[in-house]
Amino acid sequence: MDNLLNSPHLDRLIDLALEEDIGSGDVTTQALIPPELQGEAHIRAKAILVVAGLPVAARVFQKLDAKVVFAAAVDDGQEVAPGTVLARLTGPVASILTGERVALNFLQRLSGIATFTRAMAALVAGSNAVLVDTRKTTPGWRALEKYAVRLGGGHNHRLGLYDAVLIKNNHLTAVGSIGEAVRQAIARAHPQLKIEVEVTDLEGLEEALHAGADRILLDNMDDATLRQAVELTGGRAWLEASGGITKERLPKVAATGVNFISMGALTHSAPAVDIHLRLVRTWM
């Protein structure tokens, strides 16, 4: 998180969120709260959850008003009970109230992903399968959402189009065949990049293995076919199960012997968790 906090990307994202919410000014707070009013507020969990995003929330207030002191009471990645104080804020009440919604949006979304991922990761515990995310992330939020996945016990697949070769169905349509696409990628991509290709049946798997793919994505195969794929591969390549992965199916897929299970729902369908901020005292 340290590198992310120091990145201009995060600052741009926070600036955009504050600009979107505040616009020309927080008219309610400006009408009701005198600038000199000081106060203390607590951010609390309202459900069992895995905390993610406290440094981001702190950054929101830091950028809005450096006089707001944000003191985290727990660590990112920690599972907490309902009612747990996650952070205490002191400083100008107007600034605390103006930054409240943006800070909570980051916390609720990221903690939701971490909480959901923790539950899914528990379903494959004890197997050899690694639960990974996908690029199905909120535009602009990818680094944050993948950070939340890691806090939840999941692992990151490629971060973008630049750090791994993944030959998908449309690439295959353009090139003409699995074998030719893999051979071209091996010849032209950087030698340190792993070559992964998507296949939909065992015939495609055999073609990918023969061409020398490092990792093979088994797309929308049923559990019986996944087991056959593992047997056929015999450790010659890493196998990733993808498509149609649900909470109910996860343990069954893990039991087939695949190396990875990619689950887009970790980021695109994780529900936000309930976290609130309450003002507990004020003074002049």
Segment 14-30, tens digit of pLDDT: 999 999 999 999 999 99
Tokens 């071209």 belong to residue? 184
* H or E, element range at 149: helix 142-151
Q: Give the C-alpha separation, 74 to 169, whole Å.
A: 44
| Neighbouring C-alpha atoms within 13 Å toward the C-beta of 178 | 23
pLDDT of residue 3: 74
Segment 87-146, tens digit of pLDDT: 999 999 999 999 999 999 999 999 999 999 999 999 999 999 999 999 999 999 999 999
Return the active site residues.
101, 136, 168, 198, 219
- Residue 238 class from Cβ within 10 Å (0-12 exposed, 13-18 middle, 19+ buried)? middle
| Neighbouring C-alpha atoms within 13 Å toward the C-beta of 15 | 6
